[in-house]
Amino acid sequence: MAQPTETPKRKTFMGQKTITAALRYILMLLLSLVLFGIILALAGKNPIQATIDIFRSTLGSSYGISEVIVAMVPMVITAVAVAIPSRAGLINVGVEGQLYMGACLATWGALTFTQLPAWALLPLLIALGMLGGAFWAFIPGFLKAIGLVNETITSLLLNLVAVNITAFLIFGFWHGPMDTNKTASFIPAARLPTFFGTRIDLSLVFALALLWLFWYLMKYSRWGLEIRAIGGNPQAARRNGIPLKAYQVTLMSLGGAIAGIAGMSLVSGYYGLLLANFSTGYGYMGFLISWLSFGNPVGILLVSFLVAMITTGGNLLQLTQGVPYAVINILLALSLYIVMARPKFFKEAKQ
Amino acid sequence: MTLLAIFGVISSAIYSGTSLLYATLGEVVGERAGIVNLGLEGILLVSAASGVAVAGMTNNPYLGIMAAMLAGGLMNLMFGYLVITRKANQLASGLSMMFFGFGLSALIGRDFVGVKITALPKLLLPGLSSLPRLYTSLFRFDFLIILVVPMAFLIWWLLFRTRWGLVLRAVGENADIAFASGRNPLWMRYQALFLSGLLAGMGAAHLAIVYTMSWTQYMTGGIGFIAVALVIFSKWHPLRAIAGVLIFSGAVAFQLLLQASGVQVSPFLLNSIPYVLTIIVLIAWGGNRKQSAPASLGRVYQGTE
Amino acid sequence: MEPSIGFHPVNRIPEPDTASSQVPYLILRGVTKRFPLVLANDHIDLDIFQGEIHALLGENGAGKSTLMKIMYGFYRADAGVMNVNGQPVEIHSPAEARKFGIGMLFQDFSLIPAMSVAENIALFLEDLKMVVDIRQVDKRIQELAVRYHLQVRSQIKVSELSIGEQQKVEILKLLLSGAKILILDEPTRVLAPHEVAALFKVLDNLRASGYAIILITHKLKEVLDCADRITILRGGCVTGSLLRSEASEKKLLDLMFGKEMPGLSTQRRAAGKDRLDPVLELRDVETHGEGAETSLKEINLKIFPGEIVGVAGISGNGQKELGDLVLGMISCARGEKLLFGKEATQISIREVRRQGVAFIPENPLVMATIPWMTVLENLALTRPWRYAIRGGLSVNWGSVKKDVQAGLEKMAYKLPLYAPARSLSGGNLQRMVIIRELGLDPRFIIASYMTRGLDVQSTIAARQALLDARQAGAGVLLISEDLEEIFTLSDRLIVLYGGRIVGEFVPEETDIYQVGYLMTGSSSENGATH
């Protein structure tokens, strides 16, 4: 029997693999722009002018860039929350709900522990956020591990429940003296510090740290090896002694915890209070981004930036040109559609 | 809690249950052919918006219903292109259709919020005409409601007594075997999805054109997801779906009854009941589920050389 | 019952026999099929007559299934012609093959478990009406069933049938879809010896009614028992074509292998082995099978170091579940499991492996490896605690490599460390799994259908590895469907039926018929039947 020859170690970071990946993302960017133009034209707006406007408003000024980053950070975090479980074959669609629950628990902390100084309160809020999100993800994870229900359906339904619970808490207990749909502003100690007068806050650091941890975990650690094994062939992984159920529950909870950090960052940083329905779909956006970037950390960063650019610019378009926000949804959905349709240049070996 | 209130709630349960049943039947057909459609919510929205738009423009509710059905069918074909021809992951593809539906429906419906729609004629079930006027108005049902249970039987007959249904089920169990028998699984799945879309469109049409007679963004409120869960609950059987929808609508009705009788429970908690109930039901039926699902559900058919 | 004309050797164009010529129903000439890495069929000629049983013999990888897949429309030949009933044909799909009367019975049945027998057959009927009248279909089934001794309950779901009954359904399906040629791919793999006899009776009946039957197999005894003519394939070519009267085991082996088959260096274990603690002990173990799994009942078993215990049984009677139970994939509902003398009923698979238990399953690609990971990564999977450093934050690939090299040297084999696992052939993959599992001298090995589907050389290497491990003092639980393998390798063997142990023997004191009867639940005849 002829034996295949040894091939050298896979090319590492700098090499053919990176270049094709970069090309892929550039292509995606171009495709999105073209799609965007078409949709705008259909909506009766001038696509060229609109595109120029978007670029100018987002990248043309330091304020613009900072706004894009502000929009990008929660998406990066939620994308990581989706990507980590996805490596083991788990589909965590419940990121939206986990985000809300993390925000709720963090809000409770912010409203209760008003005596604490910032250096004690903020870590506590982070922990609470992680706890809330982890709990919300534990439920579908656990149900999946004991083999009862598919985690996709349960986490989807729990999303809807989480939004209701949040509203219930606000309207019932936490609302501020003036409005019924949001809490009072958090005390300064409960707010994430911002940078240089922009609205970018500490959550940027969280996002970058999480990305790096994600990358390191999967590439170098033993757990990453086992996670990838589960994703590649769950039965074989199990026969080799990898504790499948433990990983399923842990990874879902971990994803939830990360989503909870996103939720906490939004209420403690961006908003400074808990508002009913505060999430404009960050959780679903994270899901989309994770899929569009094939669960790859670098890809997540790039695609999040792109999406943030589109949504921020889109907000502006809505104000200036009356383009409805729905167009953004369509654009993102179509981008995902095209990526999933896998035309040849997007083909990549399954992670 | 007057008799009127109770009847009122039952009536509204029947109305909302009808849309849900159509959507569930559609999803049963699709899943029996092996395809899960998580984007059902988005597809329902697009159908509803299209239906309201056409009904408003032409002042003809029947045309609106047809438009909704067609929209549903076309959206499902678009979904089908992804999961059948391009062989993409069904769950993620479904979610992309969901987003697409959110956006597209908002665009379509944007100009039709608050448009006036001609109502459908409503018939009274025989035997009830002796009741006082107040009550009979609650039990006047349009043809879509009257058709929905027979439709479930029709779908049952289609799936289990015809050649088309046999092949559809075979494709959902094992597409390779279906192919070996000389059928084309890909083509069959497209057909199943189209029918599924038509049914979903009927459900959406009923909700928008008949029940609420209006369009608002995100008006379907999650019934797309509930339908997917109910399919599991009814073990992929059209007739059991009736029972599932009855139980579910009953729960919703009960919740409304609580509100109507002045029980002081936060509306938000009550709103969550349907979803929590669905999860509980899924858990309770979880053990049996695996054996009843079509064997190829969710799996991509790779085709042969 | 030979065909009524003189036989034409197929490596020359047959001359028409003017007397009572019977034209072959199916003729293949020069059929060739090439795959990227291998020439699977090399100018194959074949004649099949009506009313004959024609055996196609060859080892795994000789090209038999490729040839059959071409005949059935799954593949298109690169060259060559095919004639059915005197007319040249090109077959592009199984449906077309059926139109020409060619029907194929696969090794893994192509039946849908969730649907009834009648529905399964209806699916394949050419003239199925738009509104299906299942009772009509049923009648047609019963007519044929009675005629050919293929009785089966037709309204129940296929999942509730036994394997033998399922095979009957498959045959009925072929007959009802109009097949005149039946291609049976290793039909006796899952049958016990007397069920095989029943099958051949059915085939005999069919042959007498004029059907042509192609029997794909590698079992010499069956071929010599029932085939009219035999064609042997090796390495993609026809190496010979004989009448049964001309054939003998030795001749067939020669044509199949072209060389002496390397034997196993078996040394039967000397009697009086030292009574150490058993490596495995099961006391009154019971499991609850889910879905298609078989429940095990009242399992009492002891395996000692340095012995191979074979488990005979027909698929579906609990063999696979036994292996999975010992590994820990299935948990005990009752009873106790002891490993190396210590209580182990509830421990995790990881713990089981930590204690020195190895598991070699069938079908390495599906069951034991991660296809897109490299060979090196796959090899690190079983004992990650050995290679994890800094508490799991890193993997010490250097020491993985060292272990792998040591294992490769021991087996005298080479593997490409950085190729993805799925690029390896089945035989190479299984060797990789064996190296991984046996590389660290396990004390107890579970081998579950280890050699299923493997080519001969890999099979021999795998069996030798087990024997070597036994010599080194390991205990082995050998689960196999190949009675010959069990009889050759085991020191003791048990028979499973319906989830219970129904017999325990030393190989020298029994024969395959006694074991076979137990495998199918009949009380054993007194051994002497043949």
Go through the domains of chain C in sequence order and give each one's CATH number. 1-13+21-101+228-260 (3.40.50.300), 280-519 (3.40.50.300)
CA distance A262 to A258: 7
**The pLDDT value given to residue C271:** 43
Backbone angles phi, psi at B61, to 5 degrees: -65, -30
Nearest-CB residue to A342 (from B86, B91, B104): B86
Q: Tell which of A212, A217, A222 to mutate to test the C interface (max C CBs under 10 Å).
A: A222
Give the residue carrying structure tokens 């088309």.
Answer: B164
Nearest-CB residue to A329 (from B82, B102, B232): B102
Backbone angles phi, psi at C303, to 5 degrees: -125, 130
Tell me how close the Cα of C230 comes to any Cα of chain A, in angstroms.
Answer: 27
Tell me how close the Cα of C75 comes to any Cα of chain B, in angstroms.
Answer: 7
Q: Tell which of A40, A142, A164, A169 to mutate to test the B interface (max B CBs under 10 Å).
A: A164
Contact A225 C348 (CB under 8 A): no
Cβ contacts of B272 on chain A, cutoff 8 Å: 160-161, 164-165
Pairing between strand C357-360 and C388-389? unpaired
Instruction: For residue C392, give Cα distances in angstroms to A220, C174, C395.
Output: 9, 56, 7
Tell me how close the Cα of A311 comes to any Cα of chain C, in angstroms.
Answer: 36
**Minimum Cα–Cα distance from B96: chain A residue:** A333
Give the residue carrying structure tokens 């799609």.
Answer: A35
Interface check A95 vs B, CB under 8 A: no
Whether A340 maps to a domain, the answer reads no
pLDDT band at residue A278, thresholds of 50, 70 and 90? confident
Nearest-CB residue to C131 (from B162, B178, B295): B162
Whether A1 maps to a domain, the answer reads no
Prediction pTM value = 0.79
Interface check C422 vs A, CB under 8 A: no
A86 forms beta bridges with: none
B-facing residues of A in 172-191 (CB < 8 A) are 172
Contact B268 A168 (CB under 8 A): yes
Q: Tell which of B215, B228, B268, B302 to mutate to test the A interface (max A CBs under 10 Å).
A: B268
Tell me how close the Cα of A135 comes to any Cα of chain C, in angstroms.
Answer: 25
Interior angle at CA C395, CA C393 and CA C400, nearest 5: 165
Whether B109 maps to a domain, the answer reads yes
Contact A156 B89 (CB under 8 A): no
Q: Tell which of A215, A240, A242, A245 to mutate to test the C interface (max C CBs under 10 Å).
A: A240
CA distance C499 to C328: 17
CATH number, residue B254: 1.10.3470
Which amino acid is located at C108 in the chain?
D
Exposed, middle or buried by CB within 10 Å (0-12, 13-18, 19+), for B119?
A: exposed
CA distance A286 to A155: 14
Other beta carbons within 10 angstroms of residue C509's beta carbon come to 8
Tell me how close the Cα of B150 comes to any Cα of chain A, in angstroms.
Answer: 29
Q: Which of A145, A146, A170, A143 is nearest to A155 (CA)?
A: A143
**Minimum Cα–Cα distance from C366: chain A residue:** A236
**The pLDDT value given to residue C6:** 32
Contact B103 A327 (CB under 8 A): yes
Q: Are C229 and C215 in contact (CB under 8 A)?
A: no
Q: Print the domain residue range for B72.
A: 3-119+134-292
For residue C512, give every residue at least 6 positions away whose Cβ sits within 8 Å of its Cβ, in sequence order, or none: C193, C483, C484, C487
Q: Are A286 and A84 in contact (CB under 8 A)?
A: no
Whether B244 maps to a domain, the answer reads yes
Cβ contacts of A234 on chain C, cutoff 8 Å: none
Mean pLDDT of all residues belonging to chain A:
82
Whether A10 maps to a domain, the answer reads no
Q: Print the domain residue range for A189.
A: 73-283
Exposed, middle or buried by CB within 10 Å (0-12, 13-18, 19+), for C12?
A: exposed
HSE-up of residue C254 (Cα within 13 Å, Cβ side): 8
**The pLDDT value given to residue C529:** 34
Which amino acid is located at C377 in the chain?
E
**The pLDDT value given to residue B301:** 65
**The pLDDT value given to residue A264:** 93
Tell me how close the Cα of B92 comes to any Cα of chain A, in angstroms.
Answer: 8
Whether B147 maps to a domain, the answer reads yes
Cβ contacts of C352 on chain A, cutoff 8 Å: 241
Whether A210 maps to a domain, the answer reads yes
Contact C382 A3 (CB under 8 A): no
Whether A53 maps to a domain, the answer reads no
Cβ contacts of A7 on chain C, cutoff 8 Å: 416, 418-419
Cβ contacts of B87 on chain A, cutoff 8 Å: 342
Burial C210-233 (b: 16+ CB within 10 A, else e): ebbbbbbbbbbebbeebbbbbbbb
Helices of type H across chain B: 3-32, 40-58, 61-80, 90-109, 133-136, 143-161, 163-173, 175-180, 185-205, 223-233, 238-260, 267-292
What residues of chain C score a pLDDT lower than 70? Answer: 1-21, 37, 60-61, 192-193, 257-275, 290-292, 520-530
Whether A351 maps to a domain, the answer reads no
Cβ contacts of B283 on chain A, cutoff 8 Å: 143, 148-149
Q: Which of B147, B148, B166, B153 is nearest to B32 (CA)?
A: B166
Quick one: average pLDDT of A47-76? 82
Cβ contacts of C122 on chain B, cutoff 8 Å: 166
Interface check A243 vs C, CB under 8 A: yes
Nearest-CB residue to B163 (from C75, C113, C128): C128
**The pLDDT value given to residue C454:** 76
B vs C: CB pairs below 8 A: 56
Contact B96 A148 (CB under 8 A): no
CA distance A76 to A206: 10
Nearest-CB residue to C370 (from A3, A233, A349): A233
**The pLDDT value given to residue B258:** 76
Instruction: With residue A70 as reference, give the H or E element that holds it.
Output: helix A62-86
What residues of chain B score a pLDDT lower than 50? Answer: 304-305
Tell me how close the Cα of B272 comes to any Cα of chain A, in angstroms.
Answer: 5
pLDDT in tens, A290-326: 988 888 898 899 889 888 887 887 777 676 666 677 7
Quick one: average pLDDT of A98-120? 90
Q: Tell which of B40, B86, B252, B279 to mutate to test the A interface (max A CBs under 10 Å).
A: B279
Contact C329 A238 (CB under 8 A): yes
Backbone angles phi, psi at C437, to 5 degrees: -75, -40
CA distance B225 to C145: 47
Give the residue carrying structure tokens 């074949």.
Answer: C46
Q: Tell which of C75, C111, C132, C170 to mutate to test the B interface (max B CBs under 10 Å).
A: C132
**The pLDDT value given to residue C521:** 63
**The pLDDT value given to residue C260:** 46
For residue C236, give every residue at least 6 positions away whose Cβ sits within 8 Å of its Cβ, in sequence order, or none: C38, C39, C40, C41, C42, C44, C62, C63
Interface check A221 vs C, CB under 8 A: yes
Tell me how close the Cα of A212 comes to any Cα of chain B, in angstroms.
Answer: 25
Helices of type H across C357-454: 364-367, 375-380, 384-387, 397-411, 426-438
Tell me how close the Cα of A253 comes to any Cα of chain B, in angstroms.
Answer: 18
Cβ contacts of C76 on chain B, cutoff 8 Å: 305
Whether A337 maps to a domain, the answer reads no
Neighbouring subunits of A (3+ Cβ pairs under 8 A): B, C
pLDDT above 70 (res A226): yes
**The pLDDT value given to residue C16:** 32
Q: How far is CA A143 from the centre of its chain?
A: 23
For residue C360, give every residue at least 6 positions away whose Cβ sits within 8 Å of its Cβ, in sequence order, or none: C368, C430, C433, C434, C437, C445, C446, C447, C448, C450, C462
User: Which region, left, alpha or beta, applies to residue B120 given φ > 0 means left and ψ of -120 to 50 means alpha?
Assistant: beta
Whether A323 maps to a domain, the answer reads no
Contact C372 A232 (CB under 8 A): yes
Which amino acid is located at A256 in the chain?
G
Other beta carbons within 10 angstroms of residue C455's beta carbon come to 17
Whether B78 maps to a domain, the answer reads yes
CA distance A99 to B31: 31
Over its C-alpha atoms, chain B yields an Rg (Å, rounded) of 19
Q: How many domains does chain A have?
A: 1
Task: Please count the residues of chain A.
Answer: 351
